[in-house]
Structure 1
Amino acid sequence: MVCNRCIMVVEEQMNKWALPISHIALGEVTTSASISPDLLETIRKELDMLGFELIDNKRLQTVERIKTAIIDLIYQKDLGQKLNLSTWLEKELHQDYAHLSAWFSEVEATTIEKFFIAQKIERVKELLQYDELTLSQIADQMHYSSVAYLSNQFKKVTGLSPSQFKQSTENTRMPLDAVKSYK
């Protein structure tokens, strides 16, 4: 789940199956109910039809928690001028960063840092499309050290400069759950 509407859809499904929700947030839902293997398979199939995946493997769950935490950081919170991503993730997920990084790279075939940059660039695209902020303001909001650094990173990831992206008629954005990393 990568947005509040996703949470609502999953919550509706949980209610449909009469499963009490102990906790629901982006990327996770917990129930106190026992779930039979048959119901679990039904849940898996119905969520799949809605575009969701039921993840019951600890490694995959951890990777999804990393992705959700990064998306939440970029879209919901202040990035902070001196954010150290590895330290922040260790505190957020209560696990050693080396362990998190190894699992993430194994599952996603990219690094956490590249995923973070790809998500930041996706947010920059969104802000460019809104056309409410200058590139300098966007760089400041996304805590880039300079407009030049943002522009260089943007071009490296997208192949376009920010101004070319704004002028492009095909300046489409990707769904957040489809953003993997840049090459």
Structure 2
Amino acid sequence: MIELVQESYFAKGGQRACYEVPGKPDLCVKVEFTEDEASEERVEEELQAHRKVLARGESCPIVALFRGRVETTLGAGYLFDLVRNSDQTISPTLRNCEKELGKESITSLVRAFYHELIQRGLVVGDLHPKNLVVRDRSELVLIDGLGAVNFAWLYYHVGPLRVFKTRRKFRRLCRLLDISSEDVFVR
């Protein structure tokens, strides 16, 4: 059982609160604070997507990967990689550092992330500036939203559909960031 204290809390998403794992600086635990059938389905699909990546046996620096389920003093939790900068601070979300980075830098980061995602054949369900962190101002890492809840098996097995879905998700992300998706899709 992992004892979670308020001092280890560092972020909150739509359904989960995030805590540093005591004694393990490279891990965080996400604990559900809302429970409904739809969120359980999203979590299970996300975990399946993480398992697919882990089964490949290769590193995946653009995704904070799932490392297991644990019991905590606040309930059931999910262990994930904790993305840190080289100075050991927790990497900020793209949403939190959007203004200081500027549009040109953001476009470059999103472009590199897009092409890496396509090359690795990954599927994203929820691509949002709050689900991406910026490590050392030089690369994006997905911390939430891997996988697809609807028709997931199609996206994993039919490459053109996966690319179509990915481009659609990136167009939405680009609108949220007020950058050109066409600048992201070019090499």
TM over 0.5: no
Report the structure number with the largest CA radius of gyration.
1
Which of the pair has the greater relative contact order for Cα pairs under 8 Å at 6+ separation?
A: 2
Q: What is the TM-score normalised by the length of structure 2?
A: 0.30
Q: Hey, which of these two has a bigger chunk of helix by percent?
A: 1
Q: What is the TM-score normalised by the length of structure 1?
A: 0.30
